[in-house]
Amino acid sequence: MGLIKVEGELIHDAAVFVAHGGYQIIFNTRDKGLAWVQVGDNIYSDDDNGNINSEKTVHKIFVEKDELDSAKEYTIRFARCIDRKPYFAESGETFEKTYSFKPMNKEDNINIYMICDSHSRTVEPAESGKYFGDDLDALILNGDIPNHSGSIEHLLSIYYITSKITEGRVPVIYARGNHDTRGRMAIGFADYVATDNGNLFYTFRIGSIWGVVLDCGEDKNDDHPEYGGMANFDTYRAAQTRFLKNIIKNKENEYAASDVKYKIAICHVRMDLYKDEYFTRHYKEWLKALNEIGINVMLNGHEHRRNYLPAGRDTEIGKIGYHTVLGGSFERRDLPDGNKIRNMHGTALTFNNNKIDVVFTDGTYQKLEEHIIDIDK
């Protein structure tokens, strides 16, 4: 097929989402059509049992981690679907864009930036996330990036942020927030971010970091009138309890692998935040598993504040064996001179020499607060 370099078909740059066992490359286009990714000599399509999807504007394609890490580049391709007729279907010209890729395969001096609770704001979080500049190794989006999933416009805020910060070159890790579960497009939310066989909870490896992404779902009981009888997160949390127990059974291939140096967990909602037995009956089991795994730090959002809570806290669900970092908030202030301050507070994390340097920053890259986690203590 003839290839023409045109970027106008893309709404935002591609994003390389970290998934269990590999990467899922996601990009969004103005029109519905056919999508491919090429890594080295291999071409992968966005397909369904052999049929290349033609009715999508957001395209997600899995590629092997080792393959992309080795190639350090990938090419996305797109062709607009003109008419998917039963016979002699028609598509338009094929467009392409090639991205360099920076694999996160370091043992130390790893720089990760985390953003959460931007609620469909785009400019401010995209600016804050450039704190590390070219030294950024991975980006974490820890939930409530869209204000809700009521329309594609809100979901596209995810890709605006990843496009501006990573430019398709740096791995992205996504954890779903409770606002992500709301609205008609919440049903297919798994099509828009990384999953493990459709699950929004999964384990991952980047460099010497082993991680687990958990999904607390909503922040109220399933029978709350706000959900209109459309929530079943109690069963969903129970499934993640089984998931965590299976991780422990398979620990030699997970967190106990010889090259794992740091162990992190990512979850939008802090598990000891709610005291109701509806939540705690599951979160007690989650905590027990995470303590056995030996998580160094849990990264949370949801509370719209920045905070650090040391390991060893006694809580309603038990003793927290890991350090807790609450990721940040949006700052809005009107100054006496009539100027306005609008920026996003986020979290810069550096993993080095068995320590995790946690720095809360603002949109002007100022350090607001700093904590050093010594994982040997």
137 with 202, same domain? yes
User: How deeply is 228 buried, as exposed, middle or buried, from its count of CB atoms within 10 A (0-12, 13-18, 19+)?
Assistant: exposed
Taking 70 as the threshold, does the pLDDT of residue 5 lie above it? no
Q: Are residues 118 and 73 in the same domain?
A: no
The percent of residues above 70 in pLDDT, for the chain, comes to 98
Q: What is the pLDDT of residue 7?
A: 45
325-371 pLDDT, tens digit each: 998 888 887 777 877 778 999 999 999 999 999 999 999 999 999 99
Write down which residue in 45, 80, 100 finishes a domain.
Answer: 100
Segment 116-133 shows an average pLDDT of 96
Single-letter residue type at 373: I
Same domain assignment for residues 91 and 150: no
Residue 31 located in a structural domain: yes
Nearest to 44 by CA among 31, 57, 54, 35: 35
How many domains is the chain partitioned into structurally? 2
Residue 21 has pLDDT above 90, yes or no: no
Asked if residue 135 and residue 86 are part of one domain, the reply reads no
Q: In this predicted model, what pLDDT tens digit does every residue of 201-249 receive, in sequence order?
A: 999 999 999 999 999 999 999 999 999 999 999 999 999 999 999 999 9
For residue 35, give the CATH number of its domain.
2.60.40
Residue 148 domain-assigned (yes or no):
yes
Q: Assess whether 242 and 357 both reside in one domain.
A: yes
The model's confidence at residue 77, banded by pLDDT at 50, 70 and 90, is very high
Question: According to the model, what pLDDT value does residue 1 have?
Answer: 32
306, pLDDT greater than 90: yes
User: Has residue 151 been placed in a domain?
Assistant: yes
Judge if 338 and 364 occupy the same domain.
yes
Asked if pLDDT for residue 154 goes beyond 80, the answer is yes
Please determine, for residue 272, whether its predicted confidence score (pLDDT) is greater than 50: yes
Whether residues 148 and 93 share a domain: the answer is no
Domain, as residue range, for 24: 3-100
Q: Residue 2 has what pLDDT?
A: 35
pLDDT at residue 191, as a whole number: 95
Within a domain: residue 154? yes
Task: Evaluate whether residue 334 is within a structural domain.
Answer: yes
**Last residue in a domain, options 100, 127, 142:** 100
| Residue 70: inside a domain | yes
Q: Which of 268, 28, 72 is nearest to 170 (CA)?
A: 72
Of the two residues 286 and 377, the one the predictor is more confident about is 286
- The span from the first CA to the last CA of the chain, in angstroms, equals 58
Same domain, 219 and 275: yes
In this prediction, residue 29 carries a pLDDT of 95
Identify the CA nearest to 126 among candidates 99, 163, 155, 171: 163
User: What pLDDT does residue 8 have?
Assistant: 55
Task: Give me the CATH number covering residue 320.
Answer: 3.60.21.10
Which residue type is seen at 80?
R
**DSSP strand pairing (110-115 vs 138-142):** parallel
Q: Which of 71, 100, 129 is the last residue of a domain?
A: 100
Chain-centre distance for alpha carbon 301: 12
Answer yes or no: are the C-beta atoms of 9 and 19 closer than 8 Å.
no
Residue 335 lies in a domain: yes
- Percent of the chain, pLDDT > 90? 91
Indicate whether 91 and 210 sit together in one domain.
Answer: no
Say if residue 4's pLDDT is above 60.
Answer: no
**Does residue 105 sit within a domain?**
no
Give the pLDDT of residue 132.
98
Query: Residue 199 has what pLDDT?
Result: 95
Confidence of residue 65 (pLDDT cuts 50, 70, 90): very high
For residues 154 and 279, membership in a common domain is answered with yes
One domain, residues 239 and 351? yes
- Answer yes or no: do 165 and 71 share one domain: no
